Amino acid sequence: MAHDVIIVGAGPAGSTAARVLAESSKHVVIIDKAKFPRDKLCAGGVTSKVIPLLPPGFNDIIISSVHKTIIHYSNTDLRVGIESIEPCTYMVERAAFDMYLLDAAITSGVKFIEGKRVIGFWQDSKGVEVYTDPPDTFKANYLIAADGAMSRIHSQTFSQRQPYNAYCLEAKIPWSNQNDEVIFNFGSTPTGYAWIFPKGDYASIGLGVRSKNISNIFEYYKRFFDMHGIKWVKPKGLSLPMYSMETRLTHKRVLFAGDAAHLVDPITGEGIYHAILSGSMAAKAIISGGNTGTTYQTMMNKTILKELRRAFFLSLIMYHFPRLSFEALRLHPSIGKTYLGVITGENTYKDLLKTSTHSPYKILKHIIKCLQADQLSVR
Ligand SMILES: Cc1cc2nc3c(=O)[nH]c(=O)nc-3n(C[C@H](O)[C@H](O)[C@H](O)COP(=O)(O)OP(=O)(O)OC[C@H]3O[C@@H](n4cnc5c(N)ncnc54)[C@H](O)[C@@H]3O)c2cc1C
């Protein structure tokens, strides 16, 4: 039977697209190579701006809520705390979170095929065909590619692979500290940051760097463990498809969403929000009819892409001048407050840019003072 839409990948992007389509009575099949529930390498931080996009039942899978973030600068005593009254981020286990999103899609009427790897597709003016292993063929009017960071659909569609511009390592460690503070460390790794996300009796400890610094990634990771007096645990690693100017969203009857579209925030590495929002917009573009590709591109330009472009330029400054950026944050609590708003969805990166350049004279004076005292290393 031909469906309205085939979705490849049942992560947050795919399951959200599937649910939104099924709620509008579209016939949808979602195919995943894994058997669910499946794990996904991720720190599992869901920012509060994601909440309005979620189906009911999210509260049942929250492990902890974050009210306080501590930002450390490298291996120094320098740190800045950012606190919020309402939780700004919720900690989840990805296996449970992705199962909950998929269950909501299935309840809405989506057909789920698991344990089948998509190995290729074909499209013409009438529709799409998707081929799997074990062998099967699925037909539909549209294809949503939500098959993650190593997207098979993306590499078949665009002859030139988009560069995977970042790489992450992550491990779970026992965590006896009952404190739910999230820790970020800037400057301990060039062009990236390290994190500790507590989740009750264990924590996710990880680190991300731009691809150009990947050769020393294990060294940076080990150093971060040493800094916090944590016993070394062997991590797993995965590419992080950050947004860049080369990000492409459509090709005829194919719409790309989430990591398959390279929509990870270049500053924070956040991808769940963009996966869910892009999945929802891809679905809405198909529901609206007309020129689906153009509608999707326009919707994305007005929302996610506008923000990610600003994040991209801000990230160039932040990760080239980590100490300078840290000093600006330390000196101006309003920057931290605005940044918190970006996490919760109350502010945008435009607001952050505005706040960060609010008192350049004061920041410059402080930086010159630090330079004179030889305290400021600019990478
Ligand atoms: C170490 C690490 C930590 C992270 N921490 C955070 C965080 O704390 N917060 C945050 O917001 N983001 C985080 N991210 C990013 C986040 O994990 C991703 O952006 C998010 O999972 C993207 O969702 P998705 O639905 O696009 O893809 P995925 O969640 O990767 O889902 C893709 C699905 O496609 C399936 N698939 C792939 N290929 C095929 C195929 N050929 N055939 C059939 N099925 C296929 C896979 O099995 C998978 O189920 C982190 C990433 C990493 C690597």
CATH number at residue 199: 3.30.9.10
179: its two tokens: 């404190």
Q: What is the DSSP letter of 130?
A: E
44 inside domain: no
Contact 9 CB / ligand 1 (< 6 Å): yes
- Of all atoms in ligand 1, which is nearest to the CA of residue 208? 1
- Identify the three-state secondary structure at position 196: strand
Q: What whole-number distance in Å separates Cα of residue 10 and Cα of residue 146? A: 7
> Do 177 and 118 share a structural domain?
no
Q: Which residue among 15, 39, 42 has the greatest number of ligand 1 atoms within 8 angstroms of its CB, and so is best to mutate? A: 42
Mark out the alpha helices in the chain (DSSP H runs): 12-23, 94-107, 152-157, 217-227, 272-287, 292-300, 306-320, 322-331, 333-344, 349-356, 360-372
Contact 237 CB / ligand 1 (< 6 Å): no
Closest-CA residue to 184 (of 270, 248, 118, 92): 270
> Do 333 and 190 share a structural domain?
no
109: its two tokens: 């009427």
Per-residue pLDDT of the chain (379 residues; tens, 9 = 90+): 689 999 999 999 999 999 999 999 999 999 999 999 999 999 999 999 999 999 999 999 999 999 999 999 988 889 999 999 999 999 999 999 999 999 999 999 999 999 999 999 999 999 999 999 999 999 999 999 999 999 999 999 987 666 668 999 999 999 887 677 899 999 888 889 999 999 988 999 999 998 888 999 999 999 999 988 889 899 999 999 999 888 889 999 999 999 999 999 999 999 999 999 999 999 999 999 989 999 999 999 999 999 999 999 899 888 888 888 888 888 888 999 999 999 999 999 999 988 877 666 666 666 666 666 555 544 3
> Do 137 and 186 share a structural domain?
no
Q: What whole-number distance in Å separates Cα of residue 181 and Cα of residue 68? A: 5
> Do 108 and 17 share a structural domain?
yes
Which residues span the domain enclosing 341? 321-372
Residue nearest atom 10 in ligand 1 by C-alpha distance: 270
Q: Could you write out the DSSP letters of every residue in 38-83?
A: -------EEEGGGGGGSPTTGGGG--EEE-EEEEEETTSS-EEEEE
pLDDT value, residue 322: 87
**Residue 259 C-alpha to ligand 1 middle, in angstroms?**
6
25 inside domain: yes
CB contact at 8 A, 31 and 138: yes
Closest-CA residue to 53 (of 101, 85, 10): 101
291 inside domain: yes
> Do 183 and 285 share a structural domain?
no
> Do 179 and 30 share a structural domain?
no
Residue nearest atom 31 in ligand 1 by C-alpha distance: 11
> Do 248 and 142 share a structural domain?
yes
377 inside domain: no
The Cα angle at residue 347 between residues 71 and 91, in degrees rounded to 5: 50
Which of 187, 205, 240 is the endpoint of a domain? 240
pLDDT value, residue 379: 38
Enclosing H/E stretch for 185: strand 182-186
**Residue 86 C-alpha to ligand 1 middle, in angstroms?**
27
pLDDT value, residue 125: 94
The CATH number of the domain holding residue 10 is 3.50.50.60
Contact 44 CB / ligand 1 (< 6 Å): yes
Contact 264 CB / ligand 1 (< 6 Å): yes
Contact 93 CB / ligand 1 (< 6 Å): no
Q: Which residue among 98, 238, 272 has the greatest number of ligand 1 atoms within 8 angstroms of its CB, and so is best to mutate? A: 272
Residue nearest atom 51 in ligand 1 by C-alpha distance: 42
How many domains would you assign to the chain?
A: 3
> Do 170 and 235 share a structural domain?
yes
378 inside domain: no
Contact 66 CB / ligand 1 (< 6 Å): no
Which of 312, 329, 352 is the endpoint of a domain? 312
Residue nearest atom 4 in ligand 1 by C-alpha distance: 42
pLDDT value, residue 353: 87
Q: Tell the residue number behind the tokens 């969805």, with chain if given.
A: 345
